[in-house]
Structure 1
Amino acid sequence: MVGVRTVTFDFYGTLVQWHEGVEACFRDTVRRHGQPAKDLAPLIHAFHSEGRRLRDRPPWRPYRDVLGESLRFALKVGGIAMADADVDGLVTGLSRLPPHADVPAALAALRAGGWRLAAISNTDDDLIAGSLPGLGLDLDAVITAQQARAYKPDLRLFRHAHEVLGVTPQQTVHIAASQPLDMAVCKALGIRAYWVNRRAETADPQWLPFIEVRDVAEASRSILG
């Protein structure tokens, strides 16, 4: 891959434990409301669905607001009236997510191999900041939806990132766990892509071409050859 020396990453779910963090936050929330045995799956599904709807609907709004409105919607599905403490707990929990176990060593190997490393994330600057130290190194750039005022799969977020990095799409490799948010953009812009399938999902051929891997470590080994 001559001439390609920048790796970009989705952040939540790819580098850090997003799904685990969301589940923990919902578990704490329903316990706070005295319903510890409640089935979380419908609430979490509603939370993600409403989040996608709000991100895709103009005008752009901060991710913190998207999280709060999505939580309110999800709790309503569960018959729970949201309290201020629920939003505070969600934001606090999601602003300090630990990395997946394979990530620090994989990033270090790419850095040692001469690659620049950057995150492109559907979030706010302050929300992502608390999870960055766990990666074990400083990324060369952290590009957020707040900076571009656009959420994936809007191409403007990636175009802003490439402008910040001073590269073309073809001079990057992108590693991400989301097909509709990230693989869709990679297909549209012609970016070499690795889909991180941590959750045993089914590959959707409409977003090909991408290389399916189990984790970031496997993608790192492939890139380094």
Structure 2
Amino acid sequence: MASQDISALKNYKALLFDCYGTLIDWERGLLATPQIRGLLAQDGAPDEQGLLAAFSPNEVRVQAATPGIVYDEVLTQAFKDTAHDLGLSATDADAKAFGDSVPSWPAFPDSADALKRLSDMGLKLIIHSNVHNAGFAASRKKLEKGYEFDQVFTAENIGSYKPDHRNFEYSIRRLKELYGIERDEILVTANSKLHDHEPGHIAGLKGAWISRPGANMGVKKFDHIVPDWEFPTMMDFADAMEKARV
């Protein structure tokens, strides 16, 4: 990672976190499900990265086409579509079980500790996620260790999915109403360039990219999207935020 000026990080009061891909290792979680393992074991299946590359656009398409459905249903349909696209066999039961897999996805090892440090700095920690409330309820137990998120803004509550600009305007408006925090005091903190950094920039928000080595979905093929800061882990980001605020 190139040297970067972190001094401006001291100006932010709220961190707008993507959860899955940034705090929760959704790619590892997806690939570990018995349903995905079943697809990968079939003749003609791609490798893991190829399967993720096939799954990601299907997920985005389902979210855009049916913004009112909850995230477990998005996963179910995207699984069916991916299997079909790849010429692989999958039952409705497989798809439903995959849709219910969010609670099994693991947190990145550094997420909880880094979030606790950021909370201790007095920053507002805001979840801004393409998830349903029941799914995040399971994930938050893996993340809240000695602190609590200040707000949780889910696609289920907003009624649309990122990168829809409505999601960002909703979060910006609510942070102003709840805390008097202005647009230029909110920092998008996320892994996905597609879902978070590009629409965040359009909404007038700067972003810290948690680049998570090896990340595929929402990252590969989006090199033209250049976040304002880059940190490979959440702990690196917490270190930088701490130094900026001294």
Q: TM-score, normalised by structure 2?
A: 0.80
Provide the residue aligned with 2:203 in structure 1. 189
User: In the aligned structure 2, how far is the partner of 1:34 from the partner of 1:203?
Assistant: 23
**Conserved? CA contact 2:30–2:105, under 8 Å:** no
Q: Does 1:71 align with 2:79?
A: yes
Provide the residue aligned with 2:235 in structure 1. 217
User: In the aligned structure 2, how far is the partner of 1:223 from the partner of 1:123?
Assistant: 27
Provide the residue aligned with 1:102 in structure 2. 110
Q: Does 1:180 align with 2:194?
A: yes
Change (3 A) 1:171 1:33: closer
- Tell me how many residue pairs correspond in the alignment: 223
Q: Does 1:146 align with 2:156?
A: yes
User: In the aligned structure 2, how far is the partner of 1:34 from the partner of 1:105?
Assistant: 34
User: In the aligned structure 2, how far is the partner of 1:34 from the partner of 1:178?
Assistant: 24
1:155 to 155, 165, 178: 165
Percent identity (aligned)? 24
Provide the residue aligned with 2:35 in structure 1. 29
Change (3 A) 1:209 1:40: closer
User: In the aligned structure 1, how far is the partner of 2:213 from the partner of 2:91?
Assistant: 31
Change (3 A) 1:151 1:193: same
Partner-residue secondary structure (3-state), 2:101 = helix
Provide the residue aligned with 2:95 in structure 1. 87
User: In the aligned structure 1, how far is the partner of 2:92 from the partner of 2:26?
Assistant: 22
Query: Could you tell me how far 1:40 is from its partner in structure 2?
Result: 4.1
Provide the residue aligned with 1:168 in structure 2. 182
Q: Does 1:52 align with 2:60?
A: yes
Query: Could you tell me how far 1:206 is from its partner in structure 2?
Result: 3.9
Change (3 A) 1:31 1:104: closer
Greater mean deviation of Cα atoms: 84-93 or 130-139: 84-93
Larger RCO: 1 or 2 (CA < 8 Å, sep 6+): 2
Give the alignment of 1:102-121 within 5 angstroms: 102-121=110-129
The one-character-per-residue Cα deviations of 1:122-141 (angstroms, maximum 9, x if unpaired) are: 11111221111111242111
User: In the aligned structure 1, how far is the partner of 2:100 from the partner of 2:132?
Assistant: 13
Query: Could you tell me how far 1:20 is from its partner in structure 2?
Result: 0.3
1:8 is matched by which residue type in structure 2? L
The one-character-per-residue Cα deviations of 1:63-109 (angstroms, maximum 9, x if unpaired) are: 22221111001122343343243134313322232211111111111
**Conserved? CA contact 1:62–1:146, under 8 Å:** yes
User: In the aligned structure 2, how far is the partner of 1:33 from the partner of 1:208?
Assistant: 34
Change (3 A) 1:7 1:62: same
2:156 is matched by which residue type in structure 1? Q
User: In the aligned structure 2, how far is the partner of 1:205 from the partner of 1:35?
Assistant: 31
Give the alignment's Cα RMSD to 1 decimal: 2.5
1:113 is matched by which residue type in structure 2? M
Query: Could you tell me how far 1:33 is from its partner in structure 2?
Result: 7.4
**Conserved? CA contact 1:143–1:161, under 8 Å:** yes
Query: Could you tell me how far 1:43 is from its partner in structure 2?
Result: 3.4
**Conserved? CA contact 1:102–1:217, under 8 Å:** yes
